[in-house]
Amino acid sequence: MGGDAHLSAMATAALPAAAAPAAVPRLAPRPLIDRFGRRIDYLRISVTDRCDFRCTYCMPEAMTFLPRSEVLSLEEIDWLASAFVARGTRKLRLTGGEPLVRRGVIDLVRSLSRHLRSGDLDELTMTTNGSQLARFANDLADAGMRRINVSLDTLDAAKFARITRWGRLPQVLDGIAAAAAAGLHVKINMVALKGVNDDEIDAMLRWTGAHGHDLVLIETMPLGVVDDDRADRYLPLARVRRDLAARWTLVDLHDTTGGPARYVRIAETGQRLGFITPLTHNFCDSCNRVRLTATGRLYLCLGQDDAVDFRDPLRAGIDATGLDALIDRALLKKPRGHDFVIDRARPAPAVARHMSLTGG
């Protein structure tokens, strides 16, 4: 049915029926508008906090992950995602941790893709480290995905191993090639790290341009305690853009993919280059997204601790009226913006939780 109709019972054919929650309640098709007048139509969902890498800027090597009993089932994720689609969410992104290490995640993608077919959803996509893409790229494309983001910070195999600790570059490159062959548009996410990969940005531009991939540069974010000193690694992207402009022709674009990146066109290659700058130029005034953790907590801002629990009400059998009210109450908690700072005088992270819990 269309966006003005209610969501009927969950399509459980693609998911194990035994653990499926009740049908998604009928919800009024009202748009999600926060108290600052921003329309919230983008939900990022962490399907797991687990990852097969241990990237130095993301988590400590001896990371402790959540007990499985605390994590939403795939059926519960589907239920909550569908409820938000009923209330006007137009874009879903599956994240982690590493989403493709979650057993059964392809079944979840297949089930959620019914909202693409109905027209209730514009896009279903994923952010991945690429380690499992060679195995799953065709399944993702067959299930309705049209593009994915792959995190890749270097093309140097030894450096890749140092950054990810557990990763192997050839495996990721094979996965990216498999995704492109499956018809998925690939966007490469590169965290710019001073003294680590800042000398590789031109090489990454050339490589992504040659393969038809967009590139997005990201400033490191102060989330969770890690082994590295982020003040040593923080690289302002305003400086990077000035440096690139001396060697490349950067044409400003008004393109948007629903996320925070600001884009330019590289005239020499024709590709898009995006900049995500939560520290040097935050994008909070146009924020249109909220994040659901693997434990069912809805975070209204990546850089704040305000959150609303949806897992326990779901498991308690919340009805349509209660679910509608809970979503509205959550939106009232969305702040105007974050307070990200990386400073030697303030070494503690902005929030204690790691990116892998909240979802990238």
178/174 Cα distance (integer angstroms):
6
- DSSP-derived letter for residue 338 is -
Evaluate whether residue 231 is within a structural domain: no
85/309 Cα distance (integer angstroms):
18
Write the CA distances from 133 to 101, 173, 184, integer angstroms: 10, 9, 11
Task: Say what percent of the chain tops pLDDT 90.
Answer: 62
Q: Is the pLDDT of residue 8 over 70?
A: no
Q: Say whether 190 sits in a helix, a strand or coil.
A: strand
Evaluate whether residue 20 is within a structural domain: no
45/78 Cα distance (integer angstroms):
10
CATH of the domain at 114: 3.20.20.70
**Omega of the bond leading into 97 within 30 degrees of 0 (cis):** yes
pLDDT confidence of residue 284 = 66
Q: If you count them, how many residues does the chain have? A: 360
132/140 Cα distance (integer angstroms):
11
**Plot region of 85 (φ>0 → left; ψ -120 to 50 → alpha; else → beta):** alpha
Evaluate whether residue 159 is within a structural domain: yes
Q: Say whether 135 sits in a helix, a strand or coil.
A: helix
Evaluate whether residue 227 is within a structural domain: no
- For 23-74, write each residue's pLDDT tens digit: 776 776 788 999 889 899 999 999 999 999 988 888 788 788 889 889 999 9
Evaluate whether residue 229 is within a structural domain: no
Sheet holding 42-46, edge to edge: 250-252, 262-266, 272-276, 214-219, 185-192, 147-151, 123-128, 91-95, 42-46, 289-292, 297-299, 307-309
319 has which bridge partners? Answer: none
| CB-CB neighbours of 165 under 10 Å | 14
31/99 Cα distance (integer angstroms):
28
288 — phi, psi (to 5°)? -125, 20
Confidence bin at 119 (pLDDT 50/70/90): very high
- Structural domain boundaries, residue 330: 32-187+286-358
DSSP notation for 77-93: HHHHHHHHHHTT--EEE
* CA trace torsion 156, 157, 163, 164 (10° rounding): 140
Confidence bin at 161 (pLDDT 50/70/90): very high
Evaluate whether residue 100 is within a structural domain: yes
More confident call, 233 vs 192: 192
38/32 Cα distance (integer angstroms):
8
Taking alpha carbons only, the member of 286, 309, 281, 295 closest to residue 359 is 295
- Residue 208 host element (H or E): helix 201-211
Pairing of strands 91-95, 123-128: parallel
pLDDT confidence of residue 19 = 47
295/354 Cα distance (integer angstroms):
14
Q: What is the pTM of this model?
A: 0.85
- For 293-308, write each residue's pLDDT tens digit: 999 999 988 767 789 9
More confident call, 335 vs 278: 335
Place of tokens 């009740």: 22
118 — phi, psi (to 5°)? -75, -15
Evaluate whether residue 127 is within a structural domain: yes
If one counts the domains in the chain, the total is 1
Evaluate whether residue 263 is within a structural domain: no
